[in-house]
Amino acid sequence: MMDAIVKSTAGPGLELQQVPVPKPGPGEVLIKIHKTAICGTDAHIDNGDPWAQQHIKPPMTIGHEYVGEIAELGAGVTGLHVGQRVSGEGHITCHRCRNCHSGNIQWCKDTVGVGVDRDGAFAEYVCIPQTNVISIDESLPEDVVAFFDAFGNATHTALMFPLIGEDVLITGAGPIGIIAAGICKFAGARRVIITDLNDYRLDLARKMGVDAAVNTAREDLHEVMHQQGLTEGFDVGLEMSGSAQAFHQMISVMRNGGKISLLGLGSKPIEVDMNTIIWKGLTLQGIYGRKMDNWHQMSYMVQGGLDLTPVITHRFHYTDFEKGFAAMNKQMKAALEFLNMPGIRFALKHARGPLSSHGQDTVEFLISTNPGEDPKPLAKIASGGELSRIMLAFKSALADRDALPTVIYDEIDSGVSGLAAGRIGQLLHQTAKGHQVLCITHTPQVAAFADNQLLIQKNVRNDRTFTEIHT
């Protein structure tokens, strides 16, 4: 028997269990695991979200990023030996279809995923076909090899188009986007600029050598482009976020004839401005998984001096796996707030002029019910005015979407009076009961209301206060 991290039920959570050691069949290899890495897919499985409930068939050992050594060879395996240091390609393919025959296994329509469709590597041993075993040179650090699967996604995306002397935009500073930034600089890009909404991840990207890390919630990308000497737009784009807003911004800042690699998966279909793509003559290439040659490129880049250690943020013993997943989920949650959250975005904007003849200061209320969509005007009221019609509209929006637990209050600018802020606190309290609320505000009165009434967690980012509350 062996220890394994198992998805035992369809709901949230994982369990450390004793399970049988797999026995390699003909053409298979048993690998003793040394180190593993947590992928975003693993976090989805841990959380038991709709994707995981659709794809994962419990009980199953999860995990697909690892390094280890060969423990046993199945019948007919040649060219490998016990004790050899190895990793493994996580997509097991059919070897019969046209794509497999032409060497494009990443497009095999019958792919089986290790740790998704069959037992994975969050265990003392994993068993995979010989054709998926990747020999790992002893000079490569195991901490880095453990996440070669993700490194491969970044390599495939970044090296899809020539980079020498080019200006590159990366949208999405998740682990793969950050790794891709390092690859682009290593491969000779002139300028590499990365965008995100998460300052923690943008700081990691700076450690990987990007020329600029831009928080688009408060920084102007066009101004940064000007500062970096870009005159016609970006030559190459790497879309890593799955965000509609990030994708649309990328399309708008590409030079004519630019090329875009698309890796990020959206939470829902994204509308595409075909006219702009055609007029600009853009090339868009979808990226999935890794090419087998990416494994060689990864090893050679690390041996050639590409340092990926800045992207390693935590280390845990496997018996503390829950701490590892908690850290992973914390960063995933921060990355998703607040543009792609499935919920209602309710915004407040200080109006540019009086609404009434009395010259009262006014505020404008905006609402969005689709993730990633900019909020649209709902109504305007005087700061000292009553909120009944706004509350009614807000209640109606919530009532129509009971399945969406999140309400996002985003105070777009800081010109909101204390009286209006106090009424906003009342509005949130009275109309958002039973919903999780993310409150983004410049105004001390709103922050104080959240602190006194409903506070769960609060972080200060420059002049904005991010407060997550439950009502």
Beta-strand relationship, 212-215 and 191-196: parallel
Q: How many angstroms separate the CA atoms of 206 and 2, rounded?
A: 41
What pLDDT, on a 0 to 100 scale, did the predictor assign at position 239? 98
The number of C-alpha atoms within 13 Å of 329 and in the hemisphere containing its C-beta is 16
Structure tokens at 368: 């969005």
- Alpha-carbon gap, residue 471 to 467, rounded angstroms: 13
Among all chains, which residue has been given the structure tokens 């070897």? 95
pTM > 0.75: yes or no: no
pLDDT attached to residue 458: 32
d(CA 401, CA 399): 5
In sign, the C-alpha dihedral spanning 321, 326, 332, 336 is positive
d(CA 378, CA 32): 59
Stated length of the chain: 471
DSSP 160: T
CA distances from 20 to 17, 116, 124, 401 (A): 10, 18, 10, 45
Instruction: Write a three-state SS string for 6-36.
Output: EECCCCCCCEEEEECCCCCCCCEEEEEEEEE
Residue 264 CA to residue 247 CA, distance in Å, equals: 10
How far is the C-alpha of 173 from the C-alpha of 331, rounded, in Å?
11
| Per-residue pLDDT tens listing for the chain (471 residues) | 999 999 999 888 999 999 999 999 999 999 999 999 998 889 889 988 777 888 899 999 999 999 999 999 999 999 999 999 999 999 999 999 999 999 999 999 999 999 999 999 999 999 999 999 999 999 999 999 999 999 999 999 999 999 999 999 999 999 999 999 999 999 999 999 999 988 889 999 999 999 999 988 788 999 999 999 999 999 999 999 988 889 999 999 999 999 999 999 876 788 889 999 999 999 999 999 999 999 999 999 999 999 999 999 899 999 999 999 888 777 555 444 433 434 444 444 444 333 333 334 444 555 554 544 554 554 444 444 444 555 555 555 555 544 444 444 444 444 444 545 555 555 555 555 555 444 444 444 444 444 433 333 333 333 333 333 322
What pLDDT, on the 0 to 100 scale, is given for residue 362? 44
* pLDDT of amino acid 327: 83
| Type of residue at 403 | A
Query: How big is the chain by its Cα radius of gyration, in Å?
Result: 25
Residues designated as active site: 41, 44
Strand runs (DSSP E) across 137-270, as ranges?
Answer: 167-171, 191-196, 212-215, 234-239, 254-262
Whether 438 and 337 have beta carbons less than 8 Å apart is answered as: yes
pLDDT of residue 222: 93
Of residues 95, 149, 96, the one with CA closest to residue 126? 149
Name the nearest CA neighbour of 336 among 375, 363, 284, 371. 371
What's the rounded Cα separation, in Å, for the pair 328 and 157? 23
DSSP codes joined into one string, 210-240: -SEEEETTTS-HHHHHHHTT-SS-EEEEEE-
Q: How many whole angstroms separate alpha carbon 110 and alpha carbon 90?
A: 13
Helix or strand holding residue 439 (H, E): strand 436-441
